[in-house]
Structure 1
């Protein structure tokens, strides 16, 4: 057993302190919003810096549960996220596997073209014209297909697949497996850390999408949750009148805004713990192997 010096212990203490302070700084805004979403507004006015409420007031959550637009946004966002992640992972797998083969003809040219898209694109107006031409304007597909396959994620996935020993594939071929069986029975199971990582990346991106909805939709019934959140929190759209109708509950526009933020962000936060064990392994291996 190695003996750690005082300098090593001091270095570890410094690292833990910095990381802990950084984590607290990241958690504080979320805790602040969560706290004041259940704090009576009268108590907030008395002490705006009090983070632990003396009593819990859930009327703001009851209020937003009665807003039909919130549930419409939830439905649209769930569809966009699930379908978008499924398409993204499928395209990553079927694209990264052949690109990991060194004997693929034109492999370098394809990689150059993929990398080119990371730095240059047509711009907003050509993209809008493309969406209109494909006849997916004012559909949920307009928020799913444009970001279905990212060049950066594809490169990471390709590097991860390249790190898998070729002997495993050769053994499968000797046993009579074809390329499809090798891909889905050997490569995919071994890529679980990378797949879990990209599920997190793309799910968070799709859950938080709102700009594409502004550009590619004109119907409120197609708005994702984050666009509704933006309208209600920034512009007070749809909540002022409802909040003022609840005179004796302590609910105001402020507390409803806090509750809406928690209501909209909590589901995607709950997904991360189930995939966290794969997260670091997937990112590190995919980024350093090539």
Structure 2
């Protein structure tokens, strides 16, 4: 009996050790980037700064935020993230609920057509021509409408409704004289808070990190999202470092490389900090959504 208890305790200890090591492995890159963003690049490049900051400096952040386009990018990205997520939820949640209803005629063929688009798409050029033909080129709508629904997220929502909203609940609501719209708004939506939070997180992170569509569809710099502006800052510093310096100006080249290194780590923190701050509050919903999609999808 005592041997069994001893083996159980050993198993628990090993589990904690493994989890602690995994936590440190996952946490270290984040701590390193934060420390590198406020450290002198000389210590970072030499490898002497491996955990805590050395040669504390905030010059990288100062140079990033001195650029007025950063604040414009923040404003645009918040607009795209909030507005785009609302549009995504407005189309995804009702569509998934409708496809989860057994009494929807043609549900199978419609779902087949939707899933077909996951594997076969028109491509970049036809999509660009469509966006241009609809008059959305170089507008906010070019970043919001073409990606209004994700088929993967639609399937997750449909699975949630099928497995968590009993059909008997729908029947009892119909007996009480509740319409389909009333059923969806008054009963289904209040019971769907977890999946709505998951979808908001999925779509929100996608909008926050997106920059490719902005490269394709936007020409006006006042509409650029934050990620595109930060990308330009990094590319510009790399070009200045490698192309605009001459062999006779080694001191200026070294200074430019030092500034580029500081900006590089500062940009990583500036672009990811809002998502990192929001994620802990959404984590439990996020895990539930992953479980729904993987186990019951």
| Shorter-chain TM-score range | 0.7 to 0.9
What is the match of residue 227 of structure 2?
226
Q: Which has the higher helix share?
A: 2
Do the aligned partners of residues 210 and 113 (structure 1) sit closer, same or farther apart at CA in structure 2, a change above 3 Å counting? Answer: same
What is the match of residue 282 of structure 1?
289
Once the 2 structures are TM-superposed, how far is the Cα of residue 144 of structure 1 from its aligned partner? Answer: 1.5
Instruction: Give the whole-Å Cα distance in 2 for the aligned partners of 1:169 and 1:267.
Output: 39
What is the match of residue 257 of structure 1?
264
Instruction: Give the whole-Å Cα distance in 2 for the aligned partners of 1:218 and 1:273.
Output: 36
When normalised by structure 1's length, the TM-score is 0.86
Do the aligned partners of residues 123 and 5 (structure 1) sit closer, same or farther apart at CA in structure 2, a change above 3 Å counting? Answer: farther
What is the match of residue 129 of structure 1?
129
Do the aligned partners of residues 29 and 179 (structure 1) sit closer, same or farther apart at CA in structure 2, a change above 3 Å counting? Answer: same
User: Which consecutive residues of structure 2, in runs of 5 or more, have no partner in the other structure?
Assistant: 245-250, 253-257
When normalised by structure 2's length, the TM-score is 0.84
Instruction: Give the whole-Å Cα distance in 1 for the aligned partners of 2:126 and 2:283.
Output: 38
Partner residue of 2:279 out of 234, 253, 272: 272
Please state whether the residue corresponding to 1:177 is helix, strand or coil: coil
What is the match of residue 69 of structure 1?
69
Deviations 1:229-251 (A, max 9, x none): 2222233279989xx99xxxxx8
Preserved contact between residue 43 and residue 49 of structure 2 (Cα < 8 Å): no
Instruction: Give the whole-Å Cα distance in 2 for the aligned partners of 1:239 and 1:71.
Output: 23
Please state whether the residue corresponding to 2:32 is helix, strand or coil: helix
Preserved contact between residue 80 and residue 144 of structure 2 (Cα < 8 Å): yes
User: Which consecutive residues of structure 1, in runs of 5 or more, have no partner in the other structure?
Assistant: 246-250
Please state whether the residue corresponding to 1:235 is helix, strand or coil: helix
Instruction: Give the whole-Å Cα distance in 2 for the aligned partners of 1:239 and 1:173.
Output: 68
Q: CA RMSD in A?
A: 2.8
- Greater displacement, 41-50 / 56-65: 41-50
Q: Report matched runs for 1:208-227 at 5 Å.
A: 208-227=209-228
Instruction: Give the whole-Å Cα distance in 2 for the aligned partners of 1:269 and 1:238.
Output: 30
What is the match of residue 168 of structure 1?
169
Deviations 1:118-141 (A, max 9, x none): 100011111111111111111121
What is the match of residue 255 of structure 2?
none
Instruction: Give the whole-Å Cα distance in 2 for the aligned partners of 1:153 and 1:63.
Output: 39
Do the aligned partners of residues 15 and 142 (structure 1) sit closer, same or farther apart at CA in structure 2, a change above 3 Å counting? Answer: farther
Q: How many residues align?
A: 282
